[in-house]
Amino acid sequence: MYTRITAFCLAVLIGCSGTEVSPAPPGPDTAVHLPVMSRELHAAIAAFDQPTHQGRLETLTAQLEAAGLPYTIETFQGRREPDPTGYNVIVPPAAGTSGREILLIAHYDTVRLSDGRMAAGLIDNAASVVAMIEAARRVRGRTSSPVRLILSDQEELGLLGARAWIAAHGVNAIAAVVNADVNGNGDTLMYGLNTGEESAFLIEIVRSVCRERALSCLDFPEYPPSDDLAFLAAGAAVVSIGHQPRNEAEKLRAFLVRPPDRTDDAAAIPDILRIIHSPQDTIERVEPNTVAQAADVFEALVLRIDSLAASR
């Protein structure tokens, strides 16, 4: 999730990240009792906890290869230190598809902590990356529309990977963008309404998927910033999807709509704003069933967008 959300939080409530949020510890047999798919997703997410960005990139490409998804790497001039080069990893559309593209995007980079270490960045945003890879694997060869997956770099430094891709390719060939950020825990699907009139059809598709699957869903008049903002600014139809526990989703919504006046009102701070960009963003916080649900939702959204495109 773009650093601006943490900066905003700190500006409103000094010390926003200072209170530790204790996760409910899993029982000793949790991994044994998880469904096979959930165990595989959990392990894939844990693998992103790397000491270097290069290790994170290598983890990503290894998982794409294991999923049978071809990819290319597009470099761009970024701002990361000491090497500013950014690396967007792109899964191109399957052969035989035509028309305007359905674009899936999730950032795979993470932040550097105050002690110089790389944050594990598993809620933000390896869980979304793994869910997107799974959805892309499932829909490949099943759509008439081209589906492109972008695993973007340097989102945390100002959406730089998304902006670089747009600068190189434009958005005229894009029918819809589905962005994924913070999809690692909780039962409630969150999505933003602040994406312009051109995105209204995507909002309706999300709502229809929520109704048909009887999901807990919550819309946000103002949604936490992510790569969707770059595509929105370029004029593309876009929706951003995240997950949180219902009470935390409602707390985050209220926080963004009306930030608390008091600088010591710690109870008003959503847990997610203490977890992301901190040492607390670890595998213990990831709920595999949430990631599996997110993959299901992304798959359903792609197929619904494709069906709508075919009917036009």
Each residue's pLDDT tens digit in the chain (312 positions)? Answer: 655 554 444 343 333 444 455 544 443 333 444 455 678 889 999 999 999 999 999 999 999 999 999 999 999 999 999 999 999 999 999 999 999 999 999 999 999 999 999 999 999 999 999 999 999 999 999 999 999 999 999 999 999 999 999 999 999 999 999 999 999 999 999 999 999 999 999 999 999 999 999 999 999 999 999 999 999 999 999 999 999 999 999 999 999 988 876 555 677 789 999 999 999 999 999 999 999 999 999 999 999 999 998 876
Q: What is the pLDDT of residue 220?
A: 97
Give domain status of residue 263, yes or no: no
Give domain status of residue 271, yes or no: no
Q: What is the pLDDT of residue 91?
A: 98
Give the domain extent around 100: 30-248+281-311
pTM of the shown model: 0.90
Q: What is the pLDDT of residues 27-73, one digit of tens each?
A: 333 344 445 567 888 999 999 999 999 999 999 999 999 999 999 99
Q: Which helix (H) or strand (E) holds 278?
A: none
pLDDT more than 90, % of the chain: 81
Give domain status of residue 290, yes or no: yes
Residue type, 158: G
Q: What is the biggest distance separating any 2 CA atoms in the chain, rounded to whole angstroms? A: 58
* φ and ψ at residue 73, rounded to 5 degrees: -120, 125
Angstrom distance (rounded) from CA 166 to CA 231: 8
Q: What is the pLDDT of residue 17?
A: 42
| Alpha helix segments (H runs only) across 140-199 | 160-169
Give domain status of residue 133, yes or no: yes
For residue 197, give the CATH number of its domain: 3.40.630.10
Burial of 266 (0-12, 13-18, 19+ CB in 10 A): middle
- Write the CB contacts of 65 (distance below 8 Å, at least 6 apart in sequence): none
Burial of 237 (0-12, 13-18, 19+ CB in 10 A): buried
Give domain status of residue 6, yes or no: no
Give domain status of residue 163, yes or no: yes
- Count structural domains, the chain: 1
Give domain status of residue 262, yes or no: no
Give domain status of residue 97, yes or no: yes
